[in-house]
């Protein structure tokens, strides 16, 4: 039997930078409050189509984004609003897109499942899980050809790691030494199928060994650990050291989407979710390290709540795309 | 005029575009030292180096996905899938991504990429190396599809495709690679979406694609002896289809036969027939007919192959039966 731990790489732990940590905490809170709002809007049918909230993945998304440079590219997962928020995407345009409004990022045509925000370096969300891996490899090829010093972070879920694209992409990225960080967010569940049943490895991270790249297995609810790990992998990639594979472990909050009551999940797991709540964990870290006070956090909550309320109000006031305009634009297209 | 083989013309198109624009790169199986299964990328590795000529393992989905990602970052990749049969492994990337990205991100993303592939029977190499699958792709909104039948068209269309800011599939045919034809020394382009009347005639329009253009031309020559003047029109581009040229021809001949190597059922002939029915009904003296590949899984046997696809003889007979 192989000892999985011996196959893993552990990132160098950096001392906590107070200013940066406060910023990360703020973003984690932004993602949470943003998602709590989207769920309400989904239930009241203001957000249309699909919705896959990031709750449970906030620290993984925020920490990973922080580990990159501004010009780096991110491929989010289908549960990836947190990346958009962490990258500073416009809350107004995000809300408008989720509501199917013309003023959204993609003119209200792509919503939760296909949104893209090139202005903040975020490529399109994929409705076909795992299909983003080869595309991320392609951006890595472009970075290499253009010698632009950029790195791509390719996020995907534990479920998507079961797709054949995982093998094709990690192999290609490795033989070409591409600047790509493969970031598997393992939230324990692929819709109703648990990681323990879907995955023959103790962690996807040990699969990195087979692709001659470092594999990291990190606590995805610990924002600083995720940040240090992605930063190390991104810097290696930027320096020409090739790709890495990171598995960040989180626990999914409730169902696959707001209409899934998750009857297949063990009751204890749902009841103890608080132990894995990234907001609670980051909050405790901030308080313990005396980086923020209770009052600071309350103040932050107020500020963010206001920002989100404004975005919601703005989104609601926007117009749906006019059918005639849409028809005129797409008619006669090949 | 200078004569070049079809694969040499494609090779020249790649060399010219790669020399002009360093954003053009090539990705595929055996495209490097081997020079491509059909020698289209011969000499390119030596000329442009391994960063731009990327030999890949066997991973069709990743080849298309990689080209897609590179195009999203402003490169102009040409992905080669050496046999169109293999492209079924990349259907998700093509159908769900290449064809859709520009529409899900209106005005935000461009996808200047080319997928080069080839189809058709030849040499009895069986049902997984001989199919003609163009209709599968014509059914997907968002993909342009060209099918050049001559060295001239091959070079001109590939150059246009590489400079296009939207995804283009260039579907070649294995029986065409060794075909010689005139190719000017000076630079030229063939527009996407423009059919070509390969032979003028007045009694019937034969609309043929790819290798079948040449069989149709031979048939037209033989039909001359039967007292029938056949016009041969090559759409050259399947998407967008040059309906005007097809209708203009039918207006003149009042008869139309569509010929292709792909199986008849739901082939591009069905679409062309429907379009002519809608746009040229008043000019027609009879139904638009199809003459296409048998609805079979192709045998790995060159002796049986000829009965599975149209030939000059069978086209001639078909035309005689229409006008007889």
| B177 and B283 share one domain | no
- Mean residue pLDDT of chain A comes to 97
- Please check whether residue A98 lies inside any domain of the structure: yes
Determine which of B58, B62, B167, B191 to mutate to test the interface with A (most A C-beta atoms within 10 Å): B62
Domain that holds residue B164: 3-182
Q: Mark which of B147, B182, B217 sits at the end of a domain.
A: B182
pLDDT tens for A274-293 read 999 999 999 999 999 999 99
- Structure confidence by residue, pLDDT tens digits, B175-227: 999 999 999 999 999 999 999 999 999 999 999 999 999 999 999 999 999 99
Q: Which one of B182, B212, B227 terminates a domain?
A: B182
Q: The domain that contains B251 carries what CATH number?
A: 3.40.50.920
- Shared domain for B243 and B148, answered yes or no, is no
CATH of the domain at B154: 3.40.50.970
B16 backbone dihedrals φ, ψ, rounded to 5°: -60, -45
Q: Do A138 and B65 touch (CB under 8 A)?
A: yes
Taking the C-alpha atoms of residue A65 and residue A81, their distance in angstroms, rounded to an integer, is: 12
The answer on B212 and B146 residing in a single domain is no
Does B188 reside within a domain? no
Question: Do B202 and B68 sit in the same domain of this protein?
Answer: no
Q: For residue A24, which of A292, A306, A251, A244 has the smallest C-alpha distance?
A: A292
**Chain B residues inside the 8 Å CB shell of A76:** none
- Do both B19 and B82 map to the same domain? yes
- Whether B147 and B230 map to the same domain: the answer is no
Quote the minimal CA–CA distance from B49 to chain A in Å.
11
CA distance A253 to A272: 10
Same domain, B293 and B168: no
From A146's Cα to the closest Cα of chain B, the distance in A is 8
Q: Look up the pTM and report it.
A: 0.97
> Do the Cβ atoms of B77 and B71 come closer than 8 Å?
yes
Q: Are residues B166 and B203 in the same domain?
A: no
ipTM given for this complex: 0.96
Query: Within a domain: residue B294?
Result: yes
Task: Assign A1 a pLDDT band (cuts: 50, 70, 90).
Answer: low
Q: Is A284 exposed, middle or buried (0-12, 13-18, 19+ CB in 10 A)?
A: exposed
Residues B145 and B293 in one domain: no
Q: Which of residues 20 through 59 in chain B touch A, CB cutoff 8 A?
A: 22-23, 25, 27, 51-52, 54, 56-57, 59
Inside any domain, residue A283: yes
Give domain status of residue B290, yes or no.
yes
Which chain B residue shows the shortest CA-CA distance from A150? B73
Which residue range(s) make up the domain with A233? 7-326
Residue B46: CB atoms within 10 A of its CB come to 11
pLDDT at A125 over 70: yes
Over the stretch A218-245, which tens digit does the pLDDT of each residue have?
999 999 999 999 999 999 999 999 999 9
Looking at B182, B213, B242, the residue that finishes a domain is: B182
User: How far is Cα B221 from Cα B199, in angstroms, rounded to an integer?
Assistant: 10
> B73: which chain A residues are within 8 Å (Cβ-Cβ)?
73, 138-139, 142-143, 146
Q: Whole-angstrom Cα distance, residue A110 to residue B154?
A: 36
B203 and B173 in one domain? no
b vs e for B94-121, b when ≥16 Cβ sit within 10 Å of the residue's Cβ?
A: bbebbbbbbbbbeebbbbbbbbbbbbbb
Domain count along chain A: 1
State the total domains in chain B.
2
User: How close A97 gets to chain B, by Cα (Å)?
Assistant: 11
Q: Is the residue at A333 inside a domain?
A: no
Q: Indicate whether B59 and B158 sit together in one domain.
A: yes
Which residues are CB-neighbours of B293 under 8 A, at least 6 positions away?
A: B132, B260, B261, B262, B263, B264, B267, B308, B309, B310
Q: B98: which 2 tokens?
A: 């290449």
> Is residue B190 a part of any domain in this protein?
no
On chain A, the residues whose CB falls within 8 A of the CB of B93 are 131, 134-135
CATH code, domain carrying A243: 3.40.50.970
User: Does residue B249 carry a pLDDT above 80?
Assistant: yes
> Which pLDDT belongs to residue A223?
98
> Does residue A23 form part of some domain?
yes
Assess whether B82 and B143 both reside in one domain.
Answer: yes
> CA B234: distance to chain centroid?
10
Q: B-contacting residues of A 165-194, CB under 8 Å?
A: 165, 168-169, 171-172, 175-176
Q: How many A-B residue pairs are in contact by the CB < 8 A criterion? A: 136
What pLDDT is stored for residue B201 in this prediction?
98
Of A109, A146, A169, which has the smallest distance from its Cβ to B62's Cβ?
Answer: A169
Distance separating alpha carbons of residues A214 and A225, to the nearest angstrom: 16
CB atoms within 10 A of CB A261: 9
pLDDT category, A331, cuts 50, 70, 90?
confident
Per the CB < 8 Å rule, is B27 touching A142? Answer: no
Domain contains A50 = yes
Which residue in chain A is spatially nearest to B139 when comparing CA positions?
A: A334
Considering only CB atoms, which chain B residues are within 8 Å of A141? Answer: 25, 27, 54, 66, 69-70, 75, 77
């Amino acid at each position: 039997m192989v000892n999985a731990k011996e196959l893993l790489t552990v990132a160098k732990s950096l001392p906590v930078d107070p200013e940066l940590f406060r910023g990360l905490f703020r973003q984690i809170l932004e993602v949470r409050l943003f998602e709590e709002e989207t769920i309400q809007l989904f239930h009241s049918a203001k957000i249309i189509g699909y919705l896959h909230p990031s709750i449970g993945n906030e620290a993984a998304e925020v920490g990973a984004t922080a580990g990159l440079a501004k010009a780096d590219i991110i491929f989010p997962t289908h549960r990836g609003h947190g990346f958009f928020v962490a990258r500073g995407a416009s809350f107004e345009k995000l809300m408008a897109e989720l509501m199917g409004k013309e003023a959204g990022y993609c003119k209200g045509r792509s919503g939760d499942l296909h949104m893209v925000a090139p202005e903040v370096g975020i490529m399109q969300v994929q409705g076909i899980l795992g299909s983003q891996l080869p595309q991320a490899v392609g951006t890595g090829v472009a970075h290499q050809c253009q010698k632009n010093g950029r790195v791509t972070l390719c996020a995907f879920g534990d479920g998507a790691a079961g797709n054949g694209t995982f093998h094709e992409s990690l192999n290609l990225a490795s033989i070409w030494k591409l600047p790509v960080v493969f970031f598997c967010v393992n939230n324990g569940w692929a819709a109703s199928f648990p990681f323990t049943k879907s995955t023959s490895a103790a962690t996807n991270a040990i699969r990195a060994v087979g692709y001659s790249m470092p594999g990291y297995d990190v606590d995805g609810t610990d924002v600083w650990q995720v940040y240090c790990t992605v930063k190390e992998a991104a810097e290696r990639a930027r320096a020409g050291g090739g790709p890495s594979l990171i598995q960040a472990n989180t626990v999914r909050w409730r169902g696959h989407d707001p209409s899934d009551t998750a009857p297949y999940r063990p009751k204890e797991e749902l009841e103890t979710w608080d132990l894995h709540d990234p907001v609670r964990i980051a909050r405790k870290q901030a308080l313990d390290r005396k980086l923020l006070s209770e009052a600071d956090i309350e103040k932050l909550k107020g500020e963010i709540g206001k920002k989100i309320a404004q975005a919601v109000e703005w989104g609601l006031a926007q117009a749906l795309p006019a059918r005639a305009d849409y028809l005129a634009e797409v008619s006669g297209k090949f | 005029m200078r004569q070049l083989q079809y694969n040499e013309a494609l090779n020249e198109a790649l060399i010219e575009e790669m020399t002009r624009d360093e954003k053009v790169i090539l990705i595929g199986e055996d495209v490097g030292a081997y020079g491509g299964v059909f020698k289209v990328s011969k000499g390119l590795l030596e000329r442009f180096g391994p960063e731009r000529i990327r030999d890949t393992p066997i991973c069709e989905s990743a080849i298309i996905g990689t080209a897609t990602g590179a195009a999203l970052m402003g490169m102009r990749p040409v992905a080669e899938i050496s046999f169109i049969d293999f492209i079924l492994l990349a259907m998700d990337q093509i159908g769900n991504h290449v064809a859709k990205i520009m529409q899900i991100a209106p005005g935000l993303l461009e996808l200047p990429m080319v997928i080069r592939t080839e189809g058709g029977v030849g040499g009895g190499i069986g049902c997984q190396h001989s199919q003609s699958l163009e209709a599968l792709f014509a059914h997907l909104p968002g993909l342009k599809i060209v099918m050049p039948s001559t060295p001239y068209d091959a070079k001109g269309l590939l150059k246009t495709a590489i400079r296009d800011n939207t995804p283009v599939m260039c579907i070649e045919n294995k029986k065409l690679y060794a075909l010689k034809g005139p190719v000017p020394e000076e630079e030229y382009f063939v527009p996407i979406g423009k059919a070509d009347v390969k032979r003028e005639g007045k009694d019937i329009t034969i609309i043929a694609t790819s290798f079948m253009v040449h069989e149709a031309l031979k048939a037209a020559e033989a039909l001359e002896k039967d007292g029938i003047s056949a016009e041969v029109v090559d759409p050259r581009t399947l998407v967008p289809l040059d309906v005007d040229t097809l209708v203009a021809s039918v207006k003149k001949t009042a008869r139309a036969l569509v010929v292709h190597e792909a199986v008849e059922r739901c082939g591009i002939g069905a679409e062309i027939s429907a379009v002519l029915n809608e746009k040229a009904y008043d000019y027609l003296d009879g139904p638009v007919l199809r003459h296409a590949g048998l609805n079979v899984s192709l045998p790995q046997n060159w002796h049986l192959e000829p009965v599975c696809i149209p030939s000059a003889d069978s086209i001639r007979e078909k035309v005689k039966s229409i006008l007889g």
